Amino acid sequence: MLARNGVFSIKAYVVAFTIALAVAYFITPHIKRFAIKVGALDAPDARKVHTSPIPRMGGLAIYLGFVLAVLASMHVSRDVLGLLLGGTVILIVGIIDDLMQLPAKVKLLGQILAAIVLVMFNIRIEWLTNPFGDMVYLNYLSIPVTILWVVSLTNTVNLIDGLDGLAAGVSTIASIAIMLVAVELNFWVVAVLTAALAGSALGFLQHNFNPAKIFMGDTGSMFLGYMLAAVSILGTVKSAATIALVVPIVALGLPIMDTAFAIIRRYSSGHPIFEPDKGHLHHRLLALGLTQKQAVLLMYIISGCLGLSAIALTEVNQAYGVMIVLLLLVLAFLGAKKIGVLKSPDSVKSH
């Protein structure tokens, strides 16, 4: 049970991380056998980099590690219960999708339903920080903004899951960054939850790093994105400026910018925005001659730098914070332009 004093809380998030890591690590081989048994296999195609069917649905191990760690290390309040129930809904959507490939609209409906669970437990974004002034209260816009935030982050992590260990590693780094900020600001519930999330993702990563023995599938990528979004909303109770939205956005800057560039790329080239392509950052890095491991490790380094930037945002005033964010945006745009992420894959090949 999570006490209010800092000493016990430190023990709580260490316990949460350790339990989550151990459970996810040891249960993943069992999930792999289960996935093979039920036919949850990821077949290779033109967009994917693996060449033989790989079991997926490994996100089930991440989920079990997370839930068991939370139950073992903290008091299950109404907020935490809502978060766990919503996470279970998104997990079920992911499992069904990994088994039978849900249509995009049906999957989106499931994501919205999972977000509504949070709203029903009054876990919602009720204000935003204006960097040039006071807080902006959302009032009746609170519900749609909350749903948009959760669905967007859920899909952002889902879309970056294109190389062995990429989504698990980036999610681990982002979770640790948010946890460190939460510890610094004494947000102990958020700290324990993100510690459990980091531990479960890292435990699974041992089986998912190249060459991957199992994929997390939509079961895992949507769960990780959903939980990062939901945990961030819990932070808005105490702070609209730091843990709430800005820190997760910067910490998850890599998949967020990759998704944004994908939308710009597809729109400018006349392709449907939701049509998959091979123009994502990891595709471009592979096309430039990097191996899977090299591409993933480079993206880990970028995520680590973004995580440190997210932590730095909580230590500076708003003016410096705005400058840091603008600098990151400029660097991201220049980097994307340099390696061709903003161009369609067809136009890149023709040069």
What's the total number of domains in the chain?
A: 1
- pLDDT of 45 reads 62
Per-residue pLDDT of the chain (351 residues; tens, 9 = 90+): 444 444 445 688 899 999 999 999 999 999 999 999 998 888 766 555 556 788 999 999 999 999 999 999 998 999 999 999 999 999 999 999 999 889 989 999 999 999 999 999 999 988 776 655 567 778 889 899 999 999 999 999 988 888 889 999 999 999 999 999 888 888 889 999 999 999 999 999 999 998 899 999 999 999 999 999 999 888 665 554 445 678 888 888 888 888 888 888 877 777 776 666 677 788 788 888 888 899 999 999 999 999 998 888 877 777 777 788 888 888 888 887 888 777 766 544 433
Question: Range of 182's domain?
Answer: 6-350
Inside any domain, residue 64: yes
254 touches 281 (CB < 8 A): yes
Rounded to an integer, what distance in angstroms lies between the CA atom of residue 39 and that of residue 103? 19
Inside any domain, residue 1: no
The candidate with the shortest Cα–Cα distance to 92, out of 109, 77, 75, 78, is 109
Give per-residue burial for 205-224: e unless 16+ CB within 10 Å, then b. bebbbbebebbbbbbbbbbb
- Which burial class, exposed, middle or buried, applies to 269 when counting CB atoms under 10 A from its CB (0-12, 13-18, 19+)? middle
- pLDDT of 274 reads 66
DSSP string, 194-237: HHHHHHHHHHHHHHHSSSPS---HHHHHHHHHHHHHHHHHHHTT
Inside any domain, residue 162: yes
Inside any domain, residue 12: yes
In this structure, which amino acid lies at residue 200?
S
Phi then psi for 141, rounded to 5 degrees? Answer: -85, -5
Inside any domain, residue 80: yes
- pLDDT of 4 reads 46
Inside any domain, residue 321: yes
Inside any domain, residue 149: yes
| 3-state helix, strand and coil shares in percent for the chain, rounded to the nearest 5 | 70, 5, 25
The secondary structure element, H or E, covering residue 128 is strand 127-129
Contacts of 273 (CB under 8 A, 6+ apart): 263, 266, 267
User: Token digits for 34?
Assistant: 């289960």
Contacts of 63 (CB under 8 A, 6+ apart): 87, 88, 91, 200, 219, 220, 223
Placement of tokens 């409906």 in the chain: 109
Size (the chain), residues? 351
User: Token digits for 27?
Assistant: 């249960």
Rounded to an integer, what distance in angstroms lies between the CA atom of residue 177 and that of residue 35? 32
Rounded to an integer, what distance in angstroms lies between the CA atom of residue 152 and that of residue 146? 10
- pLDDT of 300 reads 94
